[in-house]
Structure 1
């Protein structure tokens, strides 16, 4: 195994004799593949792995400003006919990259949902909704909406990651699960005994968070399982 360092704008020619059956992984920066016909190929980011044999790649370029690094290994098949080690590395690398992307998307969506719900609650409070719960004699503070929304949104991200890991149809199962849990979450506001304005607003806030989280995570699961 060897490591290539490509400075800004650098180009490395792929020599067939030296790169035969080679597998490469981008460990830093970005690398663009240059095709045999001279046309620019895809730009690969960190943790992206690719085979060079039979792909029509004639050179690697660094299109970024900072030095890019690529680790290159030649595939070696074990004598017992077992699974190719490099294939296992490729699978693990791709799987880890997809999970990280899903978690990152989920956390961003969680932040958006929390902010949107809190702002909506503040607007409702400004127009006269008191958020008073008669059973406990307490008023729900704005921070309470932020905490609850953030907590259950993170739970949704955990469910998405688990389905991505163990289900063969993660997007479909996540959408079904998330919608079901959202429907269940609409029951407690109806049982609090709060006035009509507070009850309707609480129901609406649940739907605001669901509208942000469910489509975002479902699309992310669809994209990352193709």
Structure 2
């Protein structure tokens, strides 16, 4: 019998030699099963028992912040040492076995198994970026049609519609990069992303007051800062929650 400790956000590949005919019981925290294709699987709570033979599970991950522990019992170790105060709940999924040879091997060296999740997040982010850029440019066009000049006295220039599109697209991509980084390194990517994005949005509301524009332009610029935030933040936060499976 051995005990596997997973720190918050840690990921451990399933190695054949270590899990052959072994039975695991979560004794502390929660453990998420990572499936063969890199997608997040079920999250097992305390006293949940599982076998990994023939399941298509290739890694164990701690989706929480506190250390999780798994007690691993091999056939020769006996079952008496794996007692719990609650009935053990078992999990097995032969639907993902895909003609396994009997054990699940770890991923190739250097691979994290997160590529599918990153692709999904990037796809969502790029779609949200296009939507945010279109919405902001349309809002700017409507404001200009209503009489807002978008003149900046300090430079003597007028902000063109293309300028709104370029700036919105640029900062939306920056937000996507932040989301990808948090998914990779944070145990709570969705919550941290919302906090970071809202903070940056609040900071971005300061420049319109500093350029010396008239009231109409200032108000319009404030609104145009909020439009992409209203599109990007919910979309990326929802995608992060789906892919991190953090409760």
Whole-angstrom CA distance in 1 between matches of 2:99 and 2:164: 50
SS at match of 2:56: strand
**1:55 is matched with which residue?**
93
Match of 1:115 in 2: 134
For structure 2, the 5+ residue unaligned runs are 1-20, 22-34, 38-54, 58-90
Give the superposition deviation at 1:50: 3.5
Aligned counterpart for 1:210 among listed residues 216, 229, 238 = 229
Question: How far, CA to CA, are the matches of 2:189 and 2:181 in structure 1?
Answer: 9
Q: Which protein is richer in helix relative to its size?
A: 1
Structure 1 length-normalised TM: 0.65
Kindly report the root-mean-square deviation, in angstroms, between the aligned alpha carbons of the 2 structures.
2.8
SS at match of 1:74: coil
- Whether 1:88 aligns to 2:88 is no
Q: Does 1:157 align with 2:176?
A: yes
In structure 1, distance between residues paired with 2:186 and 2:216: 41
Change (3 A) 1:182 1:74: same
Higher RCO structure (Cα 8 Å, ≥6 apart): 2
1:74 to 88, 101, 105: 101
Q: What residue in structure 2 maps to residue 194 of structure 1?
A: 213
Deviations 1:184-216 (A, max 9, x none): 000001101000000000000000010000111
CA distances 1:52-111 after superposition (whole Å, capped 9, x unpaired): x95354xx9xxxxxxxxx9755255xxxxxxx6x2436xx57511100000000000000
5+ long unaligned stretches in structure 1: 1-20, 27-48, 61-69, 77-83
> CA separation of 1:93/1:166 partners in 2, compared to 1, >3 Å: closer, same or farther?
closer
Question: Deviations for 1:14-62, whole angstroms, at most 9, x for unmatched residues?
Answer: xxxxxxx9xx967xxxxxxxxxxxxxxxxxxxxxx936x95354xx9xx
Alignment length (residue pairs): 162
